[in-house]
Amino acid sequence: MNQQCIAMVQAGKRADAKRARKRVLREMKRLSRVVRQHARRHRDLLDTHWQETDWTRAQAEQVLARIDGVLAQLPQAVQQAHERIIGERPVANADKILSLYEGDLHVIVRGKAGAAVEFGNTRSSWPSSGRAW
């Protein structure tokens, strides 16, 4: 998948960039189906054989929850990429998946010269846990 991501970035520099991005996305979609199958198989193995690991059930549950979270978002992420690259349709910021691991990220428009748009949380949206960020 990393190779496909690199190919996607490099496609933007070529004369036939639109066609190249679509070709790479189609390859990514095929690969994501394989990754999804592997993740489900390994998730089920962990769920049934967690006693054979050094983890407690709570630790195994945490890993299972993370895998379940990514698997639940994967179809929407593929659909979002399809809409943007194949369909050439914009996706509303509120509907975008910015991270499979951090659900509380937002598009931040800062107007900086080098990066007009960034992804993350503004300081006011950080949890008030007292921890230093």
Cβ atoms within 10 Å, residue 35: 15
Cβ atoms within 10 Å, residue 23: 14
Q: Give helix then strand counts, H and E, for the chain.
A: 3, 2
pLDDT in tens, 21-53: 999 999 999 999 999 999 999 999 999 999 999
Assign residue 120 a region: left if phi > 0, alpha if psi is -120 to 50, beta otherwise? Answer: left
How much is the pTM? 0.72
Q: What is the pLDDT of residue 93?
A: 81
How far apart CA 105 and CA 120 sit, in angstroms, is: 5
pLDDT in tens, 52-105: 999 999 999 999 999 999 999 999 999 999 999 999 999 888 888 888 888 777
The answer to whether 12 touches 18, Cβ cutoff 8 Å, is no
Is the pLDDT at 108 greater than 80, yes or no?
A: no
Which of 130, 99, 103, 105 lies closest to 120, judged by CA?
105
Tokens of 80: 């979002």
| Domain spans, the chain | 2-91, 98-133
Burial class of 77 by CB neighbour count within 10 A (0 to 12, 13 to 18, 19+): middle
How far apart CA 51 and CA 43 sit, in angstroms, is: 14
Give, in order, the Cα–Cα distances in Å from 32 to each of 21, 70, 79: 16, 12, 12
